[in-house]
Chain A
Amino acid sequence: MERISTQGELEALRHRLQASHDPDQLIVRVCRGPGCLAQGADKVARAFREVIAAKGLEAEVKPLIKETGCHGFCKQGTLVNLAPANLFYVQVKPSDVEEIVETSLMKNEVVERLLYSENGTRYRSAAEVPFYKLQQKLVLRNLGLIGLLSTEDALMAGAYQAAAKALTQMSPNQVIKTVEDSGLRGRGGAGFPTGRKWRSAVKAAQKSPGVVYVICNGDEGDPGAFMDRTIMEGDPHAVLEGMIIGAYAVGSHTGYIYVRTEYPIAITNLSLAIEQARQLGLLGKNILGTGFDFDIQINRGAGAFVCGESTALFSSIEGKPGEPRPKYVRSVERGLWNRPTVLNNVETWANIPLIIQNGSEWYANIGIPNNTGTKIFSLVGKVNNVGLVEVPMGITLGKIVEEIGGGVPGENGFKAVQTGGPSGGLLPAKLKDLSVDFDTLTKAGSMMGSGGMIVMDQRDCVVDVTRYFLHFLEEESCGKCLPCRLGLKAMLEFLNRFSKGQGSLADIDELESLGRAIMDTSLCALGGSAPNPVLTSIKYFRDEYASHIVDKKCPAGVCKDLITYRIDPEICNGCRVCARICPQQCISGEKKKPHTINSSLCIRCGMCFDECPVNAVIVE
């Protein structure tokens, strides 16, 4: 595509693309999000290409096969959407493709068995499916629609319209005012008002004229979170556009996107999007003939969770170990290379074009006061509809878990929700009427965080999960400050003892006190928020701690030292799978007769429990 020199040319290109798009064009959209990819989406897409070629359809009907970013309904992957019929097929395997092509592409009929069904109802199109219907997809509106790496699709969907508006019709100050009035708060975890951050950066740059940087934090280190991955892979131009607008607002000409190295596809797709934007003249010198120069480069993370913290991220870009600095040195005044820097999260940047295009009032009317807009959550764990959801702020926890999420599967009931990643907290099921917004979650002892929402059932042990988060943070601690470096180890020792049934009830109080001390004295938010899971779990699940310490029992049946595995003789069919895989070879029995585990040799590795085909192994 040719370089665009004015806003007029951009709109002309967009209209040309839209006009040339045939609404009757057959399009097969295969979701290539992380969940579907893990289930073989590549093979499904390949199967479509092969079958269509084999049937000679390319010549007559010319169906287009588009691989798209994450459509969100990950549990039901691989997801396939057919246009213009608007058919939504789930759990598609390569072996289903021939039938889909023959039935739906060639005969315009439906393959009933591949439709999504819930409670006896079958749904023809995605929009009708309850999982989608209850969401409000704004930031994710293009995911599942636009083809990956297709600039044409992005432009047809409206990419860079907002940037053109900002650059040609608004002053930098007007852009900042719009963002301020929208009420947008950072989506990376802290929820700092974005407009205020930009305003401070401008003031700092006035005091110290020179280079200003804008950075996109694509480190997404919270385990269980993949919202940013989805946006970076599936709608990278939204991120670039947000950054162009932000750079214009604060007077920056150099942008960085810091992407964690564990996301190679995101790195590739963002790099290609940057190349495409440069070719079109939307990045580089004299963007759209306005005289505004701005370009972006990508820096890869190298496997350090702490580099999601802004000052550690700067250190990493500067080629040093990712050690944070004290926060009284504000990044908007002295950030990357000690220059005024605006750092925002991927999702925050992706909200900007929407706000500029539709106005601050429109945005401020979504969500609730002081917590405007939508938030994307990765809803994972023990919930039926595992996937990516976008909802307006102010929705309740229960609505997300039980309605959109479809509730907790199986017989083990809903126990808790962990929000905010390792820095967040565990909220018990009884708090499901809590409004999901920055302020309410913080008041309850947790935090919104980046959007990881992990559902737990009665088979998940609170002590174990808390220990897991502490262990994670202890390993990721940069080691610079004592409260974090030694404090987290000390907290972990308590948790380790509890999980073995050791310690005393007084230890719980000591652990709380230690946690509060670490919160007060840590240098950065890693240490500062590490005690959150501990403190909330003690606040809401003290009984479970007591069970471990006093009764030497793990009610959820998880903590190895407190459980035994037993084979139920009524269910066991003597297939010998467990006996064969037991690393201790301590399961005995005759073929086709109930087997027994020798508890004194059992190391509670859990393999028999995982592999028994009839679920005859019981945890006690």
Chain B
Amino acid sequence: MPKITTLDINDVLEKYPGEPHYLISLMQDVQSLYSYISPDHLDLICTHVGVPRTRAWSVATFYKSFSLEPRGEHEIKVCLGTACHLKGSPRIVESLERELKVCRGHTTGDLRFTLDTVNCVGACAMAPVVVIDEEYQPRTTYRKLNKVLKSLAED
């Protein structure tokens, strides 16, 4: 993969003054663009805001929403909030892990699907909830999800 330069994220860097407390916001914006933050991105960001690499890595690995690996084309987020837990979300995650042959928090080898867990998306009335590409699947079951995944795989 070609080395990432400032040119790639210049627009993003320019939005923020070069001060340490903009580290997290910058990382969030870069991740929205690229769906993950590569080591090259991280270096460019920490140079811009003026923090040592160790701090940038510390932040990148502390916060769950940051991904340091490329993400899949489709993002599946299984809610593991309390209401969803009571309605069987652990079984749903396990069934998705088996189906997609990927562990939670990771991406399938072909980069099609990323399987994540989230600790509550705030739609508790519709438990169990799975969010696929920002679309909510309310009161979902293994079979309903399978249908959605099949149609995504066919695209």
Contacts and interface: CB of A to CB of B under 8 A. Distances in A.
A220 interface: yes
B86 A381 contact: yes
A302 B80 contact: no
Contact of A319 (B21, B98, B122, B143): B21
A302 B27 CA distance: 10
Contacts of B21: 317-319
Given A581-B143, A610-B141, A460 B123 contact: no
Contacts of B98: 583, 605
A597 interface: no
Nearest to A265: B122
Interface string A434-457: 000000000000000000101010
Contacts of B143: 581, 611
Interface stretch (B1-9, B62-70, B106-114, B147-155): B62-70
A75 B124 CA distance: 10
B119 interface: yes
Contacts of A220: 122
A572 interface: no
Contact of B28 (A223, A302, A465): A302
B115 to A, nearest CB: 16
B55 A34 contact: no
Interface stretch (A179-187, A198-206, A224-232, A346-354): A224-232
B83 A262 contact: no
A387 to B, nearest CB: 6
B126 A261 contact: no
A261 B121 contact: no
A375 interface: no
Contacts of B20: 318-319
Given A261-B65, A304-B63, A610-B141, A386 B82 contact: no
B63 A303 contact: yes
A116 interface: no
Given A303-B63, A321-B59, A380 B83 contact: yes
A322 interface: yes
A262 B118 contact: yes
Contacts of A110: none
A223 B82 contact: yes
Interface string B127-155: 10100000011100111000000000000
A300 interface: yes
Central interface residue in B23, B81, B143, by most chain A CB within 10 Å? B81
A225 B120 contact: yes
Central interface residue in B95, B98, B126, by most chain A CB within 10 Å? B126
A382 B86 contact: yes
Given A38-B126, A225-B120, A303 B138 contact: no
B58 interface: yes
A610 B88 contact: yes
B86 A39 contact: no
Contacts of A322: 62-63
Contact of B125 (A302, A386, A610): A386
Interface in B48-91: 49, 51, 55, 58-59, 62-66, 80-86, 88, 91
B126 A74 contact: yes
Contacts of B142: 581, 607, 610-611
A261 B24 CA distance: 12
B24 A380 contact: no
Interface string B4-36: 000000000000000011111101100000000
Nearest to B81: A223
A144 interface: no
A382 B58 CA distance: 40
Given A299-B25, A380-B127, A305 B86 contact: no
B40 interface: no
Nearest to A317: B21
A460 B58 CA distance: 38
Nearest to B61: A321
A224 B91 contact: no
Interface residues of B, number: 47
A181 B124 CA distance: 35
A192 interface: no
Interface string A289-324: 000000000011111110000000000111111100
B28 A34 contact: no
B82 A452 contact: yes
A223 B78 CA distance: 13
Interface string A590-620: 0000000000000001110011000000000
A304 B64 CA distance: 6
A418 B119 contact: no
Nearest to A468: B85
A374 interface: no
A299 B23 CA distance: 12
Nearest to A323: B62
Given A38-B126, A303-B65, A381 B59 contact: no
Contacts of B58: 320-321
Nearest to B142: A607
A319 B137 CA distance: 34
A39 B139 CA distance: 9
A37 to B, nearest CB: 6
Interface in A226-257: 226, 229
A222 interface: yes
A222 to B, nearest CB: 7
Contacts of B95: 583, 605, 607
A195 interface: no
Contact of A224 (B23, B24, B49, B82): B82
A226 B62 contact: no
Contacts of A319: 20-24, 49, 51, 59
Nearest to B65: A303
Contacts of B122: 34, 220, 225-226, 229, 262-263
B83 A224 contact: yes
A168 B58 CA distance: 47
Nearest to A454: B82
Contacts of B91: 605-607, 610
A302 B121 contact: no
Contact of B83 (A302, A454, A469, A581): A454
Contacts of A380: 82-83, 124-125, 127
Given A38-B138, A605-B98, 8 more contacts: A75-B125, A223-B85, A224-B81, A224-B83, A300-B28, A381-B83, A452-B82, A478-B62
Interface of B: 20-25, 27-28, 49, 51, 55, 58-59, 62-66, 80-86, 88, 91, 94-95, 98, 118-127, 129, 136-138, 141-143
13 contacts: A34-B125, A38-B137, A38-B138, A77-B125, A262-B65, A299-B24, A300-B25, A304-B63, A319-B20, A321-B62, A322-B63, A380-B82, A421-B82
Query: 4 nearest interchain CB pairs?
Result: A74-B125, A303-B65, A223-B81, A303-B64
